[in-house]
């Protein structure tokens, strides 16, 4: 580990404290009722309120056109907010030009300056800050070592592979000791294996340096892997802001449930709600129990959401109060680590279950009639969308 990283280790403790006693009012970065419109007719960002703690890794996740990149660009200063206020460390930055914000940024295609060498690229932010030559060189070297690219200072960006360019872009955003680093889909251009590797590297750098990271991606796997919290964007609004685990396990609406991970849906109507249990009459006639999330009234239309890996075909592993339901096997796919089975359940023939390749798993055949079940807590009754 480099000196730089060690020096920042102390901040990691601080970061923990910041996270624990963070409230909406003392965030490092806050969006306060921010709106953005490009054409004066449609709002791309509708009433955004978000507070990001110091040292936090926050991911903005959403489909394209959901407003997440616009939010990032407003924070970086390349777009202005139509309404509302953006604060950095308690100071409104609405009228501060990008170059005075001191925010590091990693761009989608890295935006490494092609006419400069790697070292010149890294020295650029230090040069414009009028830093002396010796100090500059020391910092560039430290930043290159930090991303294990120490030997590449003399190369041009075009002579580097995608992953190497990515590291340089990262080092450049960090070299001037920015406390806040924005990343706009930085791993989008890499192949899957390299992407996963870089995810961990970025994550480790974040932990070592104690910086605050705002990360934009449309890849939910990336968001879940790296983030402290994830803000799921859709239609210009944050649909849910939660740690990855909550987001996956406890989606608050059907958009989030659909967007994060694979998901089976069954349409139905609420019969009655009693505490943590809602009785739901599916459109196909079966009665099942589910956990009510954002449904309140009997008679309301609802969408039941169940994760494929929470569906069991082995009834002995189910709790006593679990419902069983008829299913017909349509397709069975061997995927190596898991088996993926497509079933017809209550009229839905896109119902998928995933089972671990554990050796004793039964191989299901198409046409086979089975009974499946799940714990009531795993069936989440959400708004009908």
Which among 86, 78, 88 is positioned nearest to 108, based on CA atoms?
Answer: 78
What is the contact mask toward another protein in residues 167 to 196, using x (rule: CB under 8 A)? -----xx--x-----x--------------
> Cβ 175 to another protein, closest distance in Å?
9
Among 63, 78, 200, 371, binds another protein (CB under 8 A): 78
Q: Give yes or no for a contact between 381 and 295, defined as CB atoms under 8 angstroms apart.
A: yes
The Cα angle at residue 53 between residues 47 and 57, in degrees rounded to 5: 95
State the minimum distance, in angstroms, from the CB of residue 12 to another protein: 25
Could you say which residues in the range 299-338 bind another protein, by CB under 8 A?
Answer: none
Q: Taking the C-alpha atoms of 249, 253, 256 and 261 in order, what is their torsion angle to the nearest 10 degrees? A: 40
Q: In this chain, which of 128, 138, 151, 333 binds another protein, going by CB under 8 A? A: 128
Among 77, 153, 236, 292, binds another protein (CB under 8 A): 77
**Range 98-127, binding another protein (CB under 8 A):** 98-105, 107-109, 111-115, 124-125
- Which ranges in 36-182 belong to alpha helices (H)? 68-76, 118-127, 133-146, 162-174
Smallest gap, in angstroms, from Cβ of residue 99 to another protein? 5
Residue ranges in 225-244 that form contacts with another protein under rule CB under 8 A: none
**By the rule CB under 8 A, 159 interacts with another protein:** no
**CB nearer to another protein: pick between 111 and 377:** 111
Part in contact with another protein (CB under 8 A); list of ranges 94-102, 215-223, 256-264, 329-337: 94-102
129 binds another protein (CB under 8 A): yes
Phi, psi of 191 (to 5 degrees): -75, 170
SS3 for 15? helix
Beta-bridge partners for 290: 278
Which helix (H) or strand (E) covers residue 187, if one does?
none
- By CB under 8 A, the count of residues binding another protein is 28
Q: How far is CA 354 from CA 246, 363, 382, in A?
A: 20, 12, 22
Query: From CA 49, how far away is CA 228, in angstroms rounded?
Result: 18
**Which DSSP symbol is given to 201?**
H
| Whole-number Å distance between alpha carbons of 381 and 378 | 9
Closer residue to another protein (CB): 125 or 376: 125
Contact residues for another protein (CB under 8 A)?
76-78, 97-105, 107-109, 111-115, 124-125, 128-129, 172-173, 176, 182
């Amino acid at each position: 580990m480099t000196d730089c990283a060690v020096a920042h280790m102390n901040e990691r403790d601080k970061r923990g404290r910041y996270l624990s006693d963070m409230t909406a009012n003392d965030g490092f970065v806050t969006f306060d009722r921010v709106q953005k419109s490009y054409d004066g007719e449609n709002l791309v960002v509708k009433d955004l309120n978000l507070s990001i703690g110091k040292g936090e890794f926050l991911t903005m996740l959403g489909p394209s056109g959901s407003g997440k990149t616009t939010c990032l660009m407003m924070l970086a200063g390349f777009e202005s907010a139509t309404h509302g206020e953006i604060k950095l460390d308690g100071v409104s930055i609405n009228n501060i030009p990008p170059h005075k914000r001191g925010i590091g940024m990693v761009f989608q295609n890295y935006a490494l300056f092609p006419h400069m060498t790697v070292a010149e690229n890294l020295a650029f932010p230090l040069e414009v800050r009028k830093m002396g030559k010796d100090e500059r060189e020391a910092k560039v070297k430290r930043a290159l070592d930090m991303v294990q690219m120490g030997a590449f200072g003399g190369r041009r960006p075009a002579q580097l592979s995608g992953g190497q360019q990515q590291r340089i872009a990262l080092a450049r955003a960090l070299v001037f000791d920015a406390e806040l680093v924005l990343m706009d889909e930085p791993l989008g251009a890499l192949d899957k294996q390299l992407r996963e590797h870089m995810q961990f590297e970025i994550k480790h750098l974040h932990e070592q340096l104690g910086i605050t990271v705002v990360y934009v991606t449309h890849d939910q796997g990336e968001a879940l892997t790296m983030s402290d919290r994830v803000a799921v964007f859709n239609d210009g609004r944050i649909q849910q802001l939660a740690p990855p685990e909550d987001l996956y396990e406890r989606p608050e609406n059907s958009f989030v449930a659909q967007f994060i991970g694979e998901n089976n849906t069954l349409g139905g109507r609420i019969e009655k709600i009693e505490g943590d249990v809602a009785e739901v009459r599916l459109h196909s006639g079966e009665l099942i129990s589910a956990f009510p999330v954002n449904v309140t009234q009997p008679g309301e239309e609802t969408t039941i959401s169940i994760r494929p890996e929470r569906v069991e075909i082995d009834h002995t592993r189910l709790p006593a109060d679990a419902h069983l339901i008829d299913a017909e096997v349509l397709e069975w796919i061997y995927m190596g680590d898991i088996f993926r089975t497509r079933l017809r359940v209550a009229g839905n023939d896109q119902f998928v279950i995933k089972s671990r390749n554990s050796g004793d798993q039964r191989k299901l055949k198409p046409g086979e009639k089975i009974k499946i079940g799940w714990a009531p807590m795993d069936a989440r009754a959400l708004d009908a969308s």
